[in-house]
Amino acid sequence: MAAAAKPKNGRLCSICNDRRAALKRPKTLEQICRECFYAVFEDEIHKVIVENQIFKPGERIAIGASGGKDSTVLAYVLSELNRRHNYGLDLFLLSVDEGITGYRDDSLETVKRNEIQYGLPLKVVSYKELYGWTMDEIVKLIGLKNNCTFCGVFRRQALDRGAALLKVDKLVTGHNADDIAETVLLNILRGDIARLSRCTSITTGEDGPIPRCKPFKYTYEKEIVMYAYFKRLDYFSTECIYSPNAYRGFVREFIKDLERIRPRAILDIIKSGEDFRISASTKMPEQGNCERCGYISSQKWCKACVLLEGLNRGLPKLGIGRSRVLSNEPNKDTKQTNGTKNMQSKQCGTLDF
Amino acid sequence: MQLTLEFGGGLELLCDSVKIHKVDVDPQTEEEKVTMKQLLPWIRTNLIKERLEMFMKGDSVRPGVLVLVNDCDWELSGQLDTVLEEKDVIVFISTLHGG
């Protein structure tokens, strides 16, 4: 890292009025210095945690850790806040090894360094041990179409299984404000009412075995990356080699374009998502349990079991398509399945809500 | 004029996985100054080897790419109008990769 030359502007921080400003906050457009930035960034997350009563003293908490920027900053900030404000939490890092050579093996090295740097015990669960398949093997069989569906469905369960093995009370993930705004738009575009109504919740799955929380719900991606940069946090930033990055990618780019024009747009979209009211007469899928593995499911079998059955029987297309109409009306949805399967393939599966 | 350019957050993959580049960029005429507006096309021509669209959109960086000049957010120094000086350090970080 080269030593910085003199700053380009003499403007002072609008909070301390003492040091030079280092960044413009997207949320408030304030120009603030590095030290005040650290303080407001951490304080806001602390406030979100307190106001939403995310944690109770003595709880065991797993941090879903991919080695990427969001989960790395989350692990760092949470262990800091836990110490500073005496949350009394037992924190763990939980990683999923999808079995993607040249991507996950490298990012897992980052998580292993985080384990030492932050002194948090790490648990890794792999697709191979849970399902008998690595993503490399799945892609070899099914190609690069719909692979993100497999990965997304498997990851969601893998995190829950890992959390159960760690005997934690909750799982926290690094989803940030930009991710949530993206998901709100994506769910509107897909017409997915069930997900639209829950994707903005800070805590989900409270009725299930392991609730999930998003402490970065109101935290801008720009600030997370700036924080990681200024603090020199060690994170991994390579795109998944199998991610076609198409559908979510378009929404993502649209959100970034909006942010450039009006940074508040991100929070406004989240607010709109929260204010959506689903009419009481809308039939929502009922949550039950998978008859095969017992995992939470609105169908006879959960999505992972359907996908796995397809893989093991050499029919990998089984279970690709609209899950809502899958097992109840098998004849009616054949045509629709073909038409919608690309839409269903969730891009960049790390963003499962 | 000597500048240090740093690429991070995955952008280094667009320039042969090299993160830090010490470069020499000269203004078109003696009395003219180099601004970010001139530096970006220079980078496009001289450093970016693939997937240019990940780095630039129009005449600026792609939205979602953060720029710091001497560790200061370029939104505070006028973005494309930021005037560069000898030994300045310019950092580009993509926020678009992975979570």
Interface touch B85/A5, C-beta < 8 Å: yes
Residue A104 C-alpha from the chain's centroid = 16
Q: Does B61 touch chain A (CB under 8 A)?
A: no
Q: Does B63 touch chain A (CB under 8 A)?
A: yes
pLDDT digits (tens, 9 = 90+) for A287-323: 788 888 888 888 888 888 888 888 888 877 777 765 4
Q: Does B9 touch chain A (CB under 8 A)?
A: yes
Q: Which residues of B touch A222 (CB under 8 A)?
A: 66, 95
Confidence of residue A333 (pLDDT cuts 50, 70, 90): very low
Q: Does A351 touch chain B (CB under 8 A)?
A: yes
Residue, of A221 and A283, whose pLDDT is higher: A221
Q: Please compute the mean of the pLDDT values over residues A13-23 and round it to a whole number.
A: 95
pLDDT of residue B99: 47
Name the least confident of A210-214, A256-260, A306-310: A306-310
Taking one residue from A and the other from B, the number of pairs with CB-CB distance under 8 angstroms is 112
Interface test with A, best of B34, B54, B85, B95 (most A CBs within 10 A): B95
Q: Please compute the mean of the pLDDT values over residues A39-45 and round it to a whole number.
A: 98
Contact A80, A227 (CB under 8 A): no
pLDDT of residue A129: 93
Interface test with B, best of A8, A37, A175 (most B CBs within 10 A): A8
Question: Which of B63, B72, B97 shows the shortest C-beta gap to A9?
Answer: B72
Q: Which of B46, B42, B55 is nearest to B14 (CA)?
A: B55
Q: Please compute the mean of the pLDDT values over residues B2-29 and round it to a whole number.
A: 91
The segment with the largest mean pLDDT, out of A90-99, A322-331, B47-56, is A90-99
Confidence of residue B98 (pLDDT cuts 50, 70, 90): low
Rounded to whole angstroms, the Cα distance separating A255 from A272 reads 14
Confidence of residue A344 (pLDDT cuts 50, 70, 90): very low
Predicted ipTM beyond 0.90 = yes
Confidence of residue A245 (pLDDT cuts 50, 70, 90): low
Q: A179-182 — which CB contacts under 8 Å span 24+ positions?
A: A179/A70, A179/A221, A179/A351, A179/B99, A180/A214, A180/A217, A180/A270, A180/A273, A181/A255, A181/A265, A181/A266, A181/A267, A181/A269, A181/A270, A181/A273, A182/A248, A182/A251, A182/A252, A182/A255, A182/A351
Confidence of residue A249 (pLDDT cuts 50, 70, 90): confident
Asked whether residue A268 carries a pLDDT value surpassing 60, the answer given is: yes
Secondary structure E strands in A65-116: 90-97
Phi and psi angles of residue B18, each rounded to the nearest 5 degrees, phi first: -95, 125
Residue, of B97 and A227, whose pLDDT is higher: A227
- The shortest C-alpha distance from A304 to chain B (Å) reads 23
Contact B25, B3 (CB under 8 A): yes
- The shortest C-alpha distance from A176 to chain B (Å) reads 9
Question: Which of B63, B85, B86 shows the shortest C-beta gap to A256?
Answer: B63
- pTM score, whole prediction: 0.86
pLDDT of residue A342: 37
Rounded to whole angstroms, the Cα distance separating A236 from A234 reads 7
pLDDT of residue A2: 46
Confidence of residue A50 (pLDDT cuts 50, 70, 90): very high
pLDDT digits (tens, 9 = 90+) for A115-166: 999 999 999 999 999 999 999 999 888 888 888 888 888 988 899 999 999 9
In terms of DSSP bridges, do strands B89-94 and B2-8 run parallel, antiparallel, or are they unpaired?
parallel
Confidence of residue B76 (pLDDT cuts 50, 70, 90): very high
Tokens at A219, concatenated: 């935290």
Binding-site residues of A for ATP, please? 64-66, 70, 96, 174, 179
pLDDT of residue A323: 46
Asked whether residue A286 carries a pLDDT value surpassing 80, the answer given is: no
pLDDT of residue A322: 52
Q: Does A4 touch chain B (CB under 8 A)?
A: yes
Name the least confident of A96-100, A107-111, A201-205, B31-35: B31-35
- Work out the angle at residue A193's Cα, subtended by the Cα atoms of residues A189 and A196, and round it to the nearest 5 degrees: 75
